[in-house]
Amino acid sequence: MLTDNLGRRFYYLRLSVTDACNFRCSYCLPNGYQPTDDSPHLTAADAATVVRAFASLGTQKVRLTGGEPSLRADLPEMIAASKETPGIRRVAVTSNGYKLPKVIDSWHQAGLDQLNISIDTLQRAEFAEFTGHDCLPRVLDGIERARDLGVTVKVNAVLLADGAERRLGEFLHWLRTTPVTLRFIELMRTGDNRNYFASNHLRGATIEEQLLRDGWQLLPRAQDAGPAREYQHPDYRGRIGLITPYSKDFCASCNRLRVSAQGRLHLCLFADQGQDLYQTIRSGDSDALAHQVRELIGGKAPSHLLQQEQVGATRNLAMLGG
């Protein structure tokens, strides 16, 4: 089992397959995707090498992320290769859902277990304003199709101060009859969003306090789960999760590592730099890659330094998928 110097065990790999995205979300890429790294991206075969290496170290869950992973035509191949890797129990994809109705069947056939879709508002006009695309009905149709196929669906919503109370009420109304998990994510500071963060950050504790007052109950956390604290309520078919990176001891339960689309190991989303694994990955030698990862894990810091406004090399969340 891959374990760091603090005894944290890593069951969960977040593998970015592209840093490109076709959305212009206000908190991430307000001016659209601007290429800043001309390093070659991992191929599907490279991605399979990464997954084999991490599986040999005890990883049980793989999330393919971006950027926007649906921009890669070979994503079904990556899903299938991950699913077929011994030791991998769950394969997930995080997407903005723009192409979802057209691609979800092929993802499901390839072996997809879980889908995370980003929806920051249920108001169509506001969604278009946030993302630059008037496609909310299409995204919701794709979610329904995923659910019909038996894929576990989670929805990610970034907490934004302006209009938060209204959006929470709309999401709660939706969750009464919709069996998905909605995860509220605290807005995080990155290199590119200093001013936006200052005017829009809302602490997740504000939402959590309201949920507890209204009778929501905390659920046990699965071994390979992400960082969300998940709640359920008997009057709702859906659940609510909270990801609060500014809370005390947030990093104590970290169980995930990240590899970028350029083949760099990021021991933390907000690390100063990624460790270059590209040549080892390209060799196809998963044993050598596993050895290299094991050697590097000792450099994982106890915590990020977001509270001190230190964001490392993360200019925007599209670089590594958040």
Which residues neighbour 236 within 8 Å (Cβ) at sequence distance 6 or greater? 172, 175, 176
Say if residue 192's pLDDT is above 90.
Answer: no
Say if residue 280's pLDDT is above 90.
Answer: yes
pLDDT above 90 covers a percentage of the chain that reads 70
pLDDT, tens digit, 9 for 90 and up, residues 116-166: 999 999 999 999 999 999 999 999 999 999 999 999 999 999 999 999 999
Say if residue 310's pLDDT is above 60.
Answer: no
pTM: 0.92
- Residue 62 has phi, psi (to 5 degrees) of -125, 130
Fold adopted by 12-319: TIM Barrel (3.20.20)
pLDDT at 322: 58
Q: Where are the domains of the chain?
A: 12-319
Q: Which of 135-139, 158-162, 270-274, 275-279 has the lowest mean pLDDT?
A: 270-274
Q: What whole-number distance in Å separates Cα of residue 285 and Cα of residue 39?
A: 21
